[in-house]
Structure formats: C-alpha cells, structure tokens
Chains A and B, each alone.
Chain A
Amino acid sequence: MNAATLQITHVSKRYGSGTTEVIAVKDVSLSVAPGEIVLIMGPSGSGKTTLLSMLGALLRPSTGEIRLNGDVVSALKENRLPEIRLRKFGFVFQDFNLLSALSALENVAIVAELAGVKGSAARRKAADLLASLGLGERLNFLPEKLSGGEKQRVAIARALVNDPALILADEPTANLDSKIGHEIMRLLRGIAKEQGRSVVIVSHDQRIKDIADRVLWLEDGQFKEMVTMATDPVCGMTVERERAFQAELNGQAYYFCAAGCRDEFLSDPARFRIPASVAALFGDLPAGEPNPLDQ
C-alpha cells in the first residue's frame, strides 16, 4: 500500500471544560490510503460531524495530529487553513450547497479561480469537468433548474476542480433517490479507483457499503468496529470480510455471502474470474498483478 493520504493519530475533540466538558471525538486514529474509500457510519451524536470537520481542516482537534500527504494540517496556523482546504480537499455535501445565484459552470469555475486559475482557463476546466460528469448540456443552468443528481454532480465537479488529494463527502446520497444515489456512488468510486484520490464518506446510507473499502462504526466518539469490504466472486455481492464465508486459494483470501457461493467457487474456481478492477477495488488483488484464478 502507498503512503497514506490522510493519517490521523490519537485525535480528540473536547467542547467546554470542567463539568460542562463534552468529548465529541476520543482518541481516534485512522489512515486512509490513496484510492481508498472509507465509509464512516454511526448513530446521531456519535461525533461523525466533528470528525469530518476536523478531517477537512474546518475544526482543530484538541489533541492529536492530522496529516495530509505528510503535512501536519492540525498544526497549521488558522490563516493557512483556507488555502489548504481550497487546494487539498474536495467537499461534497448532503444538501449540495451550490451557490444559488451562479450557474453550474460558475459554481465550479469560481473555486478554480479562487485557487489562482485565470478566468477563461477556470471556465474551460470547469466545463470539461462537468462534461465528463455528463453535464455538458447543463453548464449554464442555475442550481434551481437542476435535478438532485445533477446538483450533486456539479458539487462533485466543484470538489474535483482543484485536483484535491482527499474528497470528504457528508451524506452524499441522502437527498437522492435510489437510482441517482447509486449513480453518485459509482462516481465516487470512479474518483477513488481511477483517479487515485482518497475518499472519506460519512453516511447513514447502507448502500454506500457497496463501494467502500472499509466501513468504520463511530459511537461515543470512538471507532467501535472496523469492517473491511470484499466482493463475493460468485454472486458479486459486497460482503463484510469479518462476517463472510471465507476460502483461500493460492495464498489469496476470497469472501462469500453464503456457504453455497463458497462451495460453488471451490468446486470450479476458474469459472469465477474476478475482474482486475474489481479485485483492486476491494484490495483483494493489487491492480496490475495477475489474477490468482488465472494461475
């Protein structure tokens, strides 16, 4: 695995002091690799928002360290944080949070302009990005004229326009119907796997587990459970490794939703070729390496 994009070490966040002290996040450590999708789930009030705010350099941890590409973001002075947020992070929000007075193109271009890209170049870059997300015909539409899915794609384009290393997404599918939500999930997966960006998602949406490499359960400000996801090579279902049926072949572990799938796989492994992209997606197989099933 490459050096982590994001590394947080023993991070805590306290509000208030003495008897009124509330610890929102307690001694949390996490490392997110390039191209990895980490899903953070947990009940309301578990500290997800506080953690996400700290990861996005919007909030300073009370203790601990947050590193982005090796730089200690948590130690930076307040006046340097906007620059870091602008260039190193991409944010995707639950409510899309587009600027209502600006067109789709302008919503994306303004972020590039603020990062120093000249007006026409910023607009070109924004237009290309929006076109690649299927919004080439919607460039000059105001947000109010866009559907929920289109708004979220504009928000994703905005998050990507400054080429950030890390995408932070807060409930990115919450206001979308199932089909559009799935489309957004596919987009986020593409961003991670094809562009090598790390993606941290906070969500209640169980469907996002399907694209996550890891699922972390945050409760009372602490990670209680960590789940690593894998794809059943027989039926294609996304399964939690820790709870799945497992089999090993040529030194490689495989995970199954049920014993039936496992037995079917073991009876004739050659039938169940795992596409390299899927294998890489779930860490079963480093991208570019030969598929063990081919051996």
Chain B
Amino acid sequence: MIRLAFRNLFQSKARLTISVGGVALALLLILALDAIFTGVEQRITIYINNSGADIFVAQSGVRNLHMASSSLPNSVIRRVKGVPGVAAVTPILYLSNNVVLNDERNLAYIIGLPEDAVSGGPWNVSTGQSRPGEGEAIVDRSVAEKAGVSLGDEVKILGQKFEIAGLTEETSSLVNSIAFISMDDFEALRGSYDTFSFLLVQVDVGTQPQAVVARIQAQVRDVTAQTRADFAGQERQVVKDMSTDVITIMNLIGFLIGLAVMALTVYTATLARRAEYGVLKALGVRNRDLYRAVLAQAILSVAFGFAIGLAFTWILAATVPRLGLSMVMEISALSLLKVGSLSLAIAGMAAVLPIRQIAGLDPAIVFRGR
C-alpha cells in the first residue's frame, strides 16, 4: 500500500507541487523564523562569548547586558582581585544606545574599554586598530558599510563625534551591534569617574570559574557574579522572553497554513480516487490498509515539504550574510525537532478527513457505476 501511496502522490504532478510547495512554504516560515531567532540568540551573546572573561561581575541583581544597567564602585575591583583564583580583572563601562553613522541611527552595546584591558575588547578586527584611543571608536563593519562610512569617517556616540579607528566582524545582529570607545571618553561623556558597569574576570589556569564565582559572591558584597556561560544564558533568556510570543504566533500561523494546504490536497486527492478506494475495498482490502495508504501519502507529502523547506532555509541562512544584512540565521536541532513534530502533526491531522471519507465508502459502488 505504501507503493500505491507513493504512486498516487507522483501521478498528479500539479497536485504534488501544490501540496508539497504549500507545506514547504509553511514550514519554511517556521524554520526561517526559528533560524533568525536562534541567530539572534547566538549573536546577542557573541560579545560575552568572545570577551575572554571567565566570570562577569555586575551590580547586585544584574544578570545580563541587554537593556540592563549596572554600576559598581572602584573599590570592588580591588576586592575582586583579592579573591583567590582570580588572575585578572578588566572593568568596562557599558550602555545600550544609538550610534549615528551618516545620520543612520543604530542601536548598539557601547563598551568603554580601559587602555590596559586584557579582556572585553574586539576579537575580530578586519581593518584598523583593536583598541580605541582618545576620540576613536571601533564599530561593526557591516553596520558601517550599510551606512556608507569607513575607516577615518565620523561616528556619533552618546552625542559625541568619534573617528572610526577600526572595523570589526561578527559584532552585529538583527537587534543591535557593538561599538567600542575608550574608557576615558566614556567616563567623560557620562561625567562620572569612579564607577564601572561590569568587571570581566579571568581565573587562574586550572581553576574552575564556578568555584571562583562562589568565592566572589561570598567575599564581595552587593555584586552578582556569574560564569560566562550563565551570563550568556541569562542574555539568551531575555531574547527568548521577548520573542516567545512572536515565535508562537508565527509557528501557529505556519502550522495552520501547512495544515490547511495539506488537508485540502490530501482530501481532494482522496476524493479524486474515491472510486479506486471503493474498488480496493470491494477487492477485499481492509480499511486499515487504505488508511495507511492515505496517511503514507500525507506523511510523504509533508516529508518532501519539510525537506524542501529545510533546504530553502539553509540556502537563506547561507545567502543572508552575503547580502550584507545584520542578521544571522542558525538552524538548531531543537528547531528541526519542533518542525519535524509539527510536520507529523500536520500529516496526521490532514489524513483524518480522508480517512473518515474512506471509512464511509460503500464498496458496492463498484457495481453501481459510481
């Protein structure tokens, strides 16, 4: 019966195209959206992951960068440095604000870096300097290109003009980019010289960051210390919290479109072969075998749709970075599992009506000229 399902499916090329194409588009919608948000999740933690820090120390209660504000007094640096297992501490200033390039405003994490920073600076500089000097800024290359500016051009950060001294790679996402200026400029702009936003801590070789985190929490008051992984996890959670509703709605829309297309095509395909199913029933084929054929047809259609949707998502994911867009698409295993399950649900639900139709089919129609 599986062969019959396969042959039935491929006999009408137009129906197959509509059915598989419709499902592929619906699944592409879900997969692409998932890939975009997975990309955002990954990119939004790229600074944390590439900072070189093992531990992030913030004001008590602050657990992430995005849309957060943290302020730590100078004295904390000394106290953290005194914690056993701490090898180096780099204070940074941080603010989420716009950078203005050629009158184009782009939301960015603005990082104020000390001259002697051992961590927290740009990690992939394509052109120019890797440390910003006075009056200089290092910005993302794709954002600069999009705004039509380059090395030596002007960028406005926190209302102050800076000269672009370096361009970095992998520092932009759909949400924002990262811009680096010197700590002195940041302090001057803020008008405050005795506080920092975060401390980026490196631990001694062979020391577990988790153990050092526990010591910092025990020995330094009014701070929240987290390992890099935990800090990144919190950052991703913020994106998840912001995007869950959107993703749920889009998933639902994709699911409903896929279901509608599949249900309609499987139903019409079964209707078109009603006489043949009647013949099979008359010949002695059991209902359950016919149900299996219909279900197999739906599953095959959805499987092809899934494969095509996935292929297009991969092509999109590979093409998007080449278009200079500040977006990364990542196809996660979880997304594949989710869309795979949705596909199975679509196939199963799409087969319900045709199965009911077959169940009610009188095999004696073969002798009645239908």
Q: Chain A: residues with CB nearer than 8 A to chain B?
A: 49, 52-53, 56, 58-59, 82-87, 89, 91, 93-95, 97, 99-102, 106, 110-111, 114-115, 158, 170
A97 to B279, CA, bound (A): 7
Residue of B nearest to A58 (CB): B364
Contact B4 A102 (CB under 8 A): yes
Let me know if B75 is at the binding interface, CB within 8 A.
no
**Chain B residues with Cβ under 8 A from A110's Cβ?**
1, 3-4
**Chain A residues with Cβ under 8 A from B3's Cβ?**
102, 106, 110
A106 to B10, CA, bound (A): 15
A109 to B242, CA, bound (A): 58
**Chain A residues with Cβ under 8 A from B289's Cβ?**
114
Q: A87-B284, A93-B367 are in contact. List 5 more A-B contacts (CB 8 A).
A: A59-B364, A93-B279, A102-B3, A114-B1, A114-B283
Contact A101 B8 (CB under 8 A): yes
Let me know if B363 is at the binding interface, CB within 8 A.
yes
The SS class assigned to the B binding surface is helix
**Chain A residues with Cβ under 8 A from B4's Cβ?**
99, 101-102, 110
B288 CB → nearest A CB, Å: 10
**Chain B residues with Cβ under 8 A from A58's Cβ?**
282, 363-364, 366-367
B314-370 residues with Cβ-Cβ distance < 8 A to A are 363-364, 366-369
Q: Known contacts being A49-B367, A58-B367, A93-B279, is A85 close to B7, with CB within 8 Å?
A: no
**Chain B residues with Cβ under 8 A from A111's Cβ?**
283-284
Q: Known contacts being A99-B4, A101-B4, A101-B7, is A85 close to B284, with CB within 8 Å?
A: yes
A170 to B366, CA, bound (A): 9
A52 to B365, CA, bound (A): 12
For chain B, give the interface size range: 20 to 34
Q: Known contacts being A87-B284, A114-B284, is A100 close to B367, with CB within 8 Å?
A: no
**Chain A residues with Cβ under 8 A from B368's Cβ?**
49
- B367's contact among A53, A84, A102, A158, by CB below 8 Å, is which? A53
Let me know if B192 is at the binding interface, CB within 8 A.
no
Q: List 24 A-B contacts (CB under 8 A).
A: A52-B367, A56-B367, A58-B282, A58-B363, A58-B366, A82-B285, A84-B284, A85-B282, A85-B284, A91-B283, A93-B367, A95-B369, A99-B4, A99-B279, A101-B10, A102-B3, A102-B7, A106-B3, A110-B4, A111-B283, A114-B1, A114-B283, A114-B285, A114-B289
A91 to B363, CA, bound (A): 12
Residue of A nearest to B285 (CB): A114
A93 to B363, CA, bound (A): 13
Contact A53 B364 (CB under 8 A): yes
Q: Known contacts being A102-B4, A106-B3, is A56 close to B282, with CB within 8 Å?
A: yes
Let me know if B281 is at the binding interface, CB within 8 A.
yes
**Chain A residues with Cβ under 8 A from B363's Cβ?**
58
B354 CB → nearest A CB, Å: 16
**Chain A residues with Cβ under 8 A from B282's Cβ?**
56, 58, 85, 91
Q: Known contacts being A106-B3, A110-B4, is A97 close to B285, with CB within 8 Å?
A: no
Contact B284 A83 (CB under 8 A): yes
Q: Known contacts being A49-B368, A58-B364, A97-B275, is A82 close to B8, with CB within 8 Å?
A: no
Q: Known contacts being A85-B284, A91-B366, is A101 close to B279, with CB within 8 Å?
A: no
A118 CB → nearest B CB, Å: 14
A53 to B363, CA, bound (A): 9
Contact A97 B366 (CB under 8 A): yes
**Chain B residues with Cβ under 8 A from A93's Cβ?**
279, 366-367
Contact A86 B283 (CB under 8 A): yes
Let me know if B276 is at the binding interface, CB within 8 A.
yes
Cβ proximity bits B8-50 to A, threshold 8 Å, 1 near / 0 not: 1011000000000000000000000000000000000000000
**Chain B residues with Cβ under 8 A from A114's Cβ?**
1, 283-285, 289
Cβ proximity bits B265-305 to A, threshold 8 Å, 1 near / 0 not: 00000000001100111111110010000000000000000
A111 to B284, CA, bound (A): 9
A115 to B285, CA, bound (A): 9
Could you say which of A49, A58, A101, A170 has the most chain B C-beta atoms within 10 Å of its C-beta? A101
A191 to B85, CA, bound (A): 95
**Chain B residues with Cβ under 8 A from A99's Cβ?**
4, 276, 279-280
A258 CB → nearest B CB, Å: 38
Contact B366 A82 (CB under 8 A): no
Contact B367 A86 (CB under 8 A): no
Q: Known contacts being A99-B4, A101-B11, is A170 close to B367, with CB within 8 Å?
A: yes
Q: Known contacts being A52-B367, A58-B364, A58-B367, is A86 close to B8, with CB within 8 Å?
A: no
- B281's contact among A52, A82, A83, A101, by CB below 8 Å, is which? A82
**Chain B residues with Cβ under 8 A from A83's Cβ?**
284, 286
- B284's contact among A59, A86, A95, A170, by CB below 8 Å, is which? A86
